Amino acid sequence: MVRPPYPKMYLKNEMPTVNSITEVCVVIDGEWKVGDLVDWCKDDCYWSARIIKILSGDEVQIELPIPPTRQGRIYDAFCKDLRPSLNWSPLEG
């Protein structure tokens, strides 16, 4: 599914005042945890994944969904290449 542009992201401690925000945004509060759903930027494309292990403060291990051929992949990913995964819907936006 082709998704719409991702909303602006803010770290909770860097977020402007609520009155100054005029559009939908994503607020990131805290560090990544095992089980978090993420979008991983790889090869100029975002891939949906789940964090399965924290490797360090800057790196995690992720697992992409298992395709019909049952060959899900596990990758090491830098946290700078992750963003929270949003639930996109063709009907609800």
46-89 per-position pLDDT tens digit: 888 999 999 998 999 999 987 765 567 899 999 999 998 887 77
pTM of the full structure: 0.75
The predicted pLDDT at position 61 comes to 97
Per the domain annotation, does 15 fall within a domain?
yes
Per the domain annotation, does 25 fall within a domain?
yes
16-53 per-position pLDDT tens digit: 777 777 777 787 777 899 999 999 999 888 888 999 99
32 in Cβ contact with 79 (< 8 Å): yes
Per the domain annotation, does 89 fall within a domain?
no
The predicted pLDDT at position 37 comes to 92
CATH number at residue 73: 2.30.30.140
- Average pLDDT, stretch 6-16? 77
Distance from C-alpha of 40 to C-alpha of 18, rounded to nearest angstrom: 28
